[in-house]
Amino acid sequence: MRWLTSPATETQVTHGQRLWLYVLSVVIMILLVVPTLIVIPMSFSDSQYLEFPPETWSTRWYQNYFGSAEWMLATRTSLKVAFLTMLVATPIGVLAAYGLHASQVAFVRIAFVLLITPMMVPIVLIAVGAFYAYVKLQILYTVTGLVLAHTVLALPLVVIVTGAALKGYDMSQEQAARSLGAPRWRAFLTVTLPQIKFAVVTSALLSFLTSFDEVIVAMFISGGDNPTLTRNMFNALRDQIDPTIASISTIMVLVTTGAMVLAQVFGQQRK
């Protein structure tokens, strides 16, 4: 118990005096993580009622999910849309962030605010607006429409993450490359881009997840031949607690965790 009386700060507050803070924090951290993770064992329950711990284990809800043409179609749509969103949002977002960073025009701030509005405007409004626009453009219930809308939602993240990386990057390196004979585009590709690649990869992952997790816009503009997974999940949730969703949730948690680990590994390599 020596630890309790040892100082926790340079002002000699002891760990014992801070014990309440440690206990409280650990409880909060458990509450943050456990509700999401507890779905994983529950998804292997044999019962309709998702008990914990499950009395009998089974994979019937996974069979249910993988055996359902409807869920499979939705999963395929979601993956396709998320992947395409990543491919569209990342390059145009990175270019926009670079353009705004490098140019010293007065309306750069206005352009920046415009690019992050998708984050500020209530998402329901974006959904309703896109629904209306897509009826006019005749791209309702299409992959193209979904990708465009999700790209708009992902752009603020790409611009902010990449913009922050550019702020921490010494632009005189690009000047050095140019003084050594590289045209601007080549200086960007060979000198700047390799150094902000971590931010670019993070942006890409965020774009993917933004699209993959998105519910409300998908509720309005996905459907027909192209329903998204989240749209179907949401509709199922409103009706009753379908244990199949526990198995889908488990898969989604694993995908997310995988992406996070990937980002971490990549971040470690950078150092």
Partner 1 sequence: MWQAAGPATGKEKDRVLSTANTQALPISVSHVTKTYGAVHALDDVSLEIESGEFLTLLGPSGSGKTTLLMVLAGFTRPDHGSLKFGDREVIRTPPHLRDVGMTFQSYALFPHMSVAGNVGYPLRLRNVPKAEIAERVAGALETVQLGGFGERRIDQLSGGQRQRVAVARAIVFEPRILLMDEPLSALDKKLRDQMQIELRSLHEKLGMTTVYVTHDQREALTMSDRIAVVNHGRIMQLATPRDLYEKPANRFVADFIGDSTFLPVTRRGQQIVFEDQPLNHAAPAPEAPSLLLMARPERIHLLTGTPQERMNTFEAVAQQVIYQGDSYLLNAQLHNGEIMSLRGAVRQGTVDGLPSEGDRIRLGLAPEDTVIIDGRES
Partner 2 sequence: MQAADTPQRSYETPVPSGMNAAGLRRDARLERLKLFGLSSPALLLVLVILVIPVGWLFYVSFIGANGQFSLENYERMITRKSYARIFVTTFQVSLLTTGLCILIGYPLAYFLSQLPSRLASLCLITVLLPFWTSLLVRTYAWLVLLQKRGLVNDWGISLGLWEEPIKMVHNMTGTLIGMVHIMLPFLILPLYSTMKSINRDYMNAAANLGASPRRAFWNVFFPLSTPGLFAGSLMVFILCLGFFVTPAVLGGGRVIMVSMQIVSNIELFVNWGAASALGVVLLVLTMAILWIASRFLRLDQIAGGGH
Distance between alpha carbon 63 and the CA centroid of its chain, in Å? 27
Of 97 and 177, nearer to partner 2 (C-beta) is: 97
Q: Count residues contacting partner 2 (CB under 8 A)?
A: 92
Quick one: which of 42, 82, 177, 191 contacts partner 2 (CB under 8 A)? 42
**Phi, psi angles (nearest 5°) of residue 139:** -125, 25
Residues 179-218 as x/- pattern, contact with partner 2 by CB under 8 A: ---------------------------x--x--xx-xx--
Residues forming beta bridges with residue 223, ordered by sequence position: 226
- State which of positions 129-148 bind partner 2 (CB under 8 A): 129-133, 148
Of 17 and 195, nearer to partner 1 (C-beta) is: 195
Q: Does 201 bind partner 1 (CB under 8 A)?
A: no
Of 1 and 106, nearer to partner 1 (C-beta) is: 106
Q: Does 167 bind partner 1 (CB under 8 A)?
A: no
C-beta separation of 158 from 203 below 8 A: yes
Q: Does 183 bind partner 1 (CB under 8 A)?
A: yes
Q: Count residues contacting partner 1 (CB under 8 A)?
A: 19
The residues near 267 (Cβ < 8 Å, ≥ 6 apart) are 198
Whether the ω angle into residue 194 lies within 30 degrees of 0, i.e. cis, is no
Q: Does 267 bind partner 1 (CB under 8 A)?
A: no
Of 132 and 170, nearer to partner 2 (C-beta) is: 132
Of 183 and 258, nearer to partner 1 (C-beta) is: 183
Q: How many CB atoms within 10 Å of residue 140? A: 20
- Residue 19, SS3 per DSSP: helix
- State which of positions 135-164 bind partner 1 (CB under 8 A): none
C-beta separation of 141 from 226 below 8 A: yes
> What type of residue is 165?
A
**Phi, psi angles (nearest 5°) of residue 4:** -65, -30
Of 126 and 226, nearer to partner 2 (C-beta) is: 126
Residues 87-106 as x/- pattern, contact with partner 2 by CB under 8 A: -----xx-xxxxxx-xx-x-
C-beta separation of 51 from 169 below 8 A: no
Q: From the list partner 1, partner 2, none, pick the one residue 175 interacts with, judged by a Cβ distance below 5 to 8 Å according to partner type.
A: partner 1
Q: Does 157 bind partner 2 (CB under 8 A)?
A: yes
Q: From the list partner 1, partner 2, none, pick the one residue 140 interacts with, judged by a Cβ distance below 5 to 8 Å according to partner type.
A: none
Helix boundaries (H) for the chain: 2-5, 19-37, 39-42, 60-67, 69-102, 108-120, 123-137, 143-167, 172-179, 184-187, 193-195, 197-213, 216-221, 229-239, 244-270
Q: From the list partner 2, partner 1, none, pick the one residue 194 interacts with, judged by a Cβ distance below 5 to 8 Å according to partner type.
A: partner 1
Smallest distance, Å, CB 36 to partner 2?
5
Q: How many CB atoms within 10 Å of residue 263? A: 16
Which stretches of the chain bind partner 1, using CB under 8 A?
170, 172-173, 175-184, 186-187, 190-191, 194-195
